[in-house]
Structure 1
Amino acid sequence: MLWIERMLKDLHLLEFSEIPIIFCGNLSAQRLASNPIFHAKSKHIEVAYHFVREQVMAKEVELQHVSSRECLADIFTKALGKEVFTKHRT
């Protein structure tokens, strides 16, 4: 998302006036990305998580929680109950 935003800006096609929001269904990942203090347990985490943390701290991106009942991507990645599957399918 950040790459596309910067590419459009560099091409003078689009300027974004608001901070992009990433919806995250994993509260632990969201807390880790928003926490400015590194813990001993977090030093071996992949570089991608550190990048997201840096972007959150720099106010380049915002993370917001989305309930697993509302996460549309789950229809492709998880076994869902009939009610949730039907809701997402429609």
Structure 2
Amino acid sequence: MGGNLVSWKSKKQTTVARSSAEAEYRAMSHTVAEIMWVRQILCEIGYPVQDPTPLWCDNQAAIQIATNPVFHERTKHIEVDCHFVKEKYEEGLISLTHVKTGDQVADILTKGVTGTRMNFICNKLGLGSSHDST
């Protein structure tokens, strides 16, 4: 909020996905539930959110599943409750944007990164260089 991180969660998925798109879509569903909770809290304390909350995803297939109103044969194995993302997108409560793999700041938490990449991600997150004194 105000350019600052509000919530962060990292969790191993409890179900096996048949594709990376399905895995991303399931993660998006959990994230949308968190977004809706934060929006409700803000509304209750007198700060209703009017604009769609941006949800960034690095998997274009998952974004297509959420934004395409046609139910495809390839998505029939995704459980109905995961279509929560599509519902909130259609209601205009979230916006879905693709983030390029090279701009994915979550890599700092999920992958081994080089010093150069670490500095790039730290700058994107608004953190000082790992070599700066505090």
TM-score range, shorter chain: 0.7 to 0.9
Residue in 2 aligned with 1:7? 41
For residues 100 and 68 of structure 2, the distance between their equivalents in structure 1, rounded to whole angstroms, comes to 21
Structure 1: any 5+ residue segments left out of the alignment? none
Question: Could you say if the C-alpha distance between residues 78 and 48 of structure 1 is closer, same or farther in structure 2, counting changes exceeding 3 Å?
Answer: farther
Residue in 2 aligned with 1:38? 71
Shift of residue 61 of structure 1? 0.8
Q: Is the 8 A contact 1:19 1:61 kept in 2?
A: yes
Shift of residue 47 of structure 1? 4.2
Q: Is the 8 A contact 1:33 1:49 kept in 2?
A: no
Structure 2: any 5+ residue segments left out of the alignment? 1-34, 123-128, 130-134
Q: Is the 8 A contact 2:108 2:121 kept in 1?
A: yes
Q: Is the 8 A contact 2:42 2:49 kept in 1?
A: no
For residues 39 and 59 of structure 1, the distance between their equivalents in structure 2, rounded to whole angstroms, comes to 22
How many residues were matched structurally? 89
Question: Could you say if the C-alpha distance between residues 73 and 63 of structure 1 is closer, same or farther in structure 2, counting changes exceeding 3 Å?
Answer: same
Tell me the secondary structure at the aligned position of residue 108 of structure 2. Answer: helix
1:27 aligns with 2:60: yes
Residue in 2 aligned with 1:61? 94
Residue in 1 aligned with 2:26? none
Structure 1 vs Structure 2 CA RMSD: 1.8
1 or 2 for the larger relative contact order (CA 8 Å, sep ≥6)? 1
- Measured against aligned partners, the alpha-carbon deviations of 1:52-90 in whole angstroms (never above 9, x if no partner) come to 011111211110111111111111112334432331134
Question: Could you say if the C-alpha distance between residues 48 and 65 of structure 1 is closer, same or farther in structure 2, counting changes exceeding 3 Å?
Answer: farther
Tell me the secondary structure at the aligned position of residue 64 of structure 2. Answer: helix
Question: Could you say if the C-alpha distance between residues 16 and 30 of structure 1 is closer, same or farther in structure 2, counting changes exceeding 3 Å?
Answer: same
Identity %: 30
